[in-house]
Amino acid sequence: MDAQLLSYYEAIERASVDMLTAARAGNWDEVVKLEGACVLLISRLKNAAQEPAPASAAAPQTMELAKAKSRIMQRILVNDAEIRHLAEPWLKDLDDTLSGRRAQSLH
């Protein structure tokens, strides 16, 4: 793993933090927009990962980058879990609305 790949992981983490902030604020349109940005970053990461690693990468540096990647991935997963938890009521309301189960108010 090289520093360029790590920069993609860091960008994905920043986007996940922004998504979590938007989810906490109930700004689901922003969450969806940021999710699209994450998809693009992940695609770029996959493409970059397919390129051959530079021959000059030293083993200790590679180990440190791998540890950093692991820490970043753990934080992304924690953010994702909280976003999903926050989204559950919103998704249920959406599902109820789309399936016509939403209670009709009497006027």
- For the stretch 17-48, pLDDT in tens is 999 999 999 999 999 999 999 999 999 999 99
- DSSP per position, 41-90: HHHHHHHHHHSPPPTT--HHHHHHHHHHHHHHHHHHHHHHHHHHHHHHHH
Amino acid in the structure at residue 95: D
Residue 55 domain flag: yes
Identify the CATH number of the domain in which residue 29 sits.
1.20.58.380
Q: What is the tally of structural domains in the chain?
A: 1
Residues 23 and 87 sit within 8 Å (Cβ to Cβ): yes
Q: In this predicted structure, what is the pLDDT of residue 54?
A: 63
Residue 106 domain flag: no
Global confidence as pTM: 0.77
Domain that holds residue 69: 3-98
Residue 61 domain flag: yes
Residue 107 domain flag: no
From residue 33, alpha-carbon distances to 3, 15, 48, 59, 73 in Å are 27, 10, 23, 38, 21
* Residue 37 tokens, joined: 């940005």
pLDDT digits 0-9 by tens, 50-84: 987 666 555 677 888 899 999 999 999 999 999 99
Q: In this predicted structure, what is the pLDDT of residue 107?
A: 47
Residue 62 domain flag: yes
Residue 72 domain flag: yes
